[in-house]
Structure 1
């Protein structure tokens, strides 16, 4: 049976800061939110999803291009945005750690790297 949806499930201490970061700053639509006795789950629509599999040497090359050194663990989340510079600035105001400012890449894109809530590393890319 074909997969119908890809979800990246992240477990932050609370959903407050990640909602500000992803929903309010990056503009993800809130699809659903469920409050249970044990906590809260928020489902944010991140647009089209893809599973990118990069061998370790290629992941190292991507880190070198985007950041100038190896910084990523085994998971990195990449978001295509309309304006990598403006989005990077907006995420800084929301508490995203700057790992690398937007820069042109050999991939025909402008990429930036940010640290996001719950320990995620984010690539913001704008197709050139």
Structure 2
């Protein structure tokens, strides 16, 4: 049976588009799928390879924050990126590119993780392993 949904895309409306393109494309390493510059506005689609939607209740979100950061700090949306290099190395790369550390690399029950805040304020969890198959 063919899947009904072929792609999940998260759309962020931002005021500092050029800075965030530099961060997410050049620092994080997402690849440009499409970019446009029009009188009606500018935008870019950055390909992360595979997307999933993780839904958790407030109690579990607080548990995740407690494990990864030591206390509840995230809002209703947080990005989680599985990295191909060691989490510490990926964290250092994002920090050098303008991210702010929220919590250093640590071992959670599900993976090695770290938490940073992107220049747009988005919290990003970097993780090493996933329950999803490649």
| TM norm structure 1 | 0.93
Paired position in structure 1 for 2:106 = 103
Equivalent of residue 77 in structure 2, options 55, 75, 94: 75
Which ranges in structure 1 are unaligned for 5 or more consecutive residues?
A: none
- What is the alpha-carbon distance in structure 1 between the residues aligned to residue 93 and residue 41 of structure 2? 28
- The aligned runs of 1:85-104 (5 Å cut-off) are 85-104=88-107
User: How much does 1:21 deviate?
Assistant: 1.3
Equivalent of residue 127 in structure 1, options 123, 126, 129: 129
Count of residues in Structure 1 that have an aligned counterpart in Structure 2: 127
Which ranges in structure 2 are unaligned for 5 or more consecutive residues?
A: none
- What is the alpha-carbon distance in structure 2 between the residues aligned to residue 38 and residue 70 of structure 1? 39
Q: Secondary structure at the match of 1:117?
A: coil
Q: Which runs of 4+ in 1 moved over 4 A?
A: none
Equivalent of residue 113 in structure 1, options 109, 115, 120: 115
Matched, 1:10 2:12: yes
| TM norm structure 2 | 0.89
Residue by residue over 1:7-56, the C-alpha shift from the partner in whole angstroms, topping out at 9 and shown as x without a partner, is 10001113211112111112111011011114311000011000000111
